[in-house]
A = this chain, B = another copy of it.
Amino acid sequence: MNSNNFEKEFEKIALFSDKISDSDKQFILENTRAVSYKKGITVHDGNECSGVFLVRSGSLRVYIMSDEGKDITLYRLHKGDMCMLSASCVLQTITFDVLIDAEEDCECFVINGPAFAQISEKTPEIKIFALETAVSRFSDVMWVMQQILFMSMDKRLAIFLWDESARINSDNIELTHEQIAKYIGSAREVVSRMLKYFANEGIVENSRKGVRIINKTRLRELTL
């Protein structure tokens, strides 16, 4: 990518770039890398300050993991989304760690954490933008928490299938039971049992390739 295209695309993706001076924008650009990640790669492992991620294409999965390896998806990032939780050095008030995987092949801009922090400290609008981004993720996480804690399994699975089908605009959800379990914060065995139940009810068909929704009306009813 030549530097002119780089700058133009960065401005389009980084919604805060109209809030800073040209010289600060140059400084940020000098501290930004364009990075590609292969599907399945762990992009951020929760410990150090990996910087601020801006998604150019593909999608990232943000999750937490227990010592025993159980994991819960908090949210996913798609094109145009910015991730502050990977940059704990920018927001001191974030004292927890998340992990981030590329769930598809991904292209990202990664802004160096200390460089972003420097601009954010001197530009209140940027700090506000960064904090608001984090707070809106707080809302996502609360939603996940309520789903996990309060909702019965059939409803959680139905909502996941419904949302995923809408997102990919297809009735064929090519995910394994293991993957679905991760997304909804459950165990593979539980998902398999429930999908078998859904299949018996004529709501889905299960195959090695994934799950096909065959009765959208019934599925929809389960989500309500």
Which positions in A face B, CB cutoff 8 Å?
A: 64, 66-68, 70, 72, 91, 93-96, 124-125, 127-128, 131-132, 134-139, 141-143, 145-146, 148-151, 185
On chain B, the residues within 8 Å of A96 by CB distance are 139, 142-143, 146
Copies in the complex: 2
Contacts of A142 in B (CB 8 A): 64, 96, 141
Contact indicator B135/A94 (Cβ below 8 Å): yes
Can you show 6 pairs from A to B with CB atoms below 8 A apart?
A64-B142, A131-B135, A134-B135, A135-B135, A141-B142, A149-B185
For A131, the closest partner residue in chain B by CB is B131
Which of these, B125, B135, B146, contacts A91 with CB under 8 Å?
A: B135
Given A93-B136, A134-B135, A138-B141, 6 extra CB contacts under 8 A? A91-B135, A124-B124, A131-B132, A134-B138, A135-B138, A141-B141
Residues of B within 8 A of A136 (CB): 93, 95
C-alpha spacing A201/B84, complex, angstroms: 45
If over half of A's interface residues share one DSSP class (helix, strand or loop), that class is named, otherwise mixed; here it is helix
Residue among A91, A95, A96, A131 with the highest chain B CB neighbour number at 10 A: A131
Contact A64 B146 (CB under 8 A): yes
Cβ B91 vs Cβ A149 within 8 A: no
Q: How far is the CB of A184 from chain B (nearest CB, A)?
A: 12
CB-defined contacts of A125 to chain B, threshold 8 Å: 124
Give the Cβ gap from A217 to chain B, nearest Cβ, in Å.
23
Neighbouring B residues of A146 by C-beta, 8 Å: 64, 66, 96
A138 and B66 within 8 A (CB): no
Q: How far is the CB of A125 from chain B (nearest CB, A)?
A: 7
A116 CB, nearest partner CB in chain B, Å: 15
Q: Which residue of B lies closest to A146 (CB)?
A: B64
Min CB distance A144 to B, Å, is 8
